[in-house]
Amino acid sequence: MKQSNTSKYAYLAGAIDSDGCIEITKGQKNDRPNPTYRIRLRVNQFDGRMVDYLYGAFGGFLITSYNKLRKKNYYTWQIECNKAYYILNRLIPFLRIKKKQAEIAVRFQQHINKRKENTRRGIELSKKELELREQLFQDIRKEKHIYIPCAVVETKRSESSKKKICDSPNIKE
């Protein structure tokens, strides 16, 4: 049975929300005057079946690594730049937890694509351009650390003393 595109993207969104990573990476190559930034979409799993499926459905590439603590291999599906941009545009309606990260990454790649039309590789970027890229890089990093837990706090041993404390904007009481 052939899977619809909608269900493929919904499945990927669930994988990204639970075990995935949406990031803007930053590096510096010796022969270039500017740092290089790129968007990256990634899913890590100890069971390789999901990453095999993602590779077959969306392309990209696979990485096998060894986890010393668990003493076993883990597998990574990864896709970058415009391919990640294409996928993220279709994932946004399905994402719950990492939607804001996806929106930042899409905005970043849209900006890069507009800029590529007017510049050549290896040309030094303006201070304003570098500041914008760095700001989006920092924005997505900050977004990764936002989590306001919803907890039940017990002040005494009786059931009547339990209080629900929930400041999370995503949880309605």
Q: Is residue 54 part of a domain?
A: yes
Q: Is residue 60 part of a domain?
A: yes
Q: CA-CA distance, 130 to 43, in Å (whole number)?
A: 28
Say how many domains are in the chain: 1
Q: Is residue 29 part of a domain?
A: yes
Determine the structural domain holding residue 101 and report its residue range: 5-148
For residue 123, the 8-state DSSP code is P
Q: Is residue 173 part of a domain?
A: no
Whole-model pTM?
0.78
Q: Where are the beta strands (DSSP E) in 51-146?
A: 61-67, 72-80
Q: Is residue 165 part of a domain?
A: no
Average pLDDT over residues 48-54: 94
Q: Is residue 63 part of a domain?
A: yes
CATH number of the domain within which 118 lies:
3.10.28.10
Query: What is the per-residue pLDDT across 110-156, written as a single tens digit (0 to 9) for each?
Result: 998 887 765 666 677 888 989 999 999 999 999 887 665 555 445 55
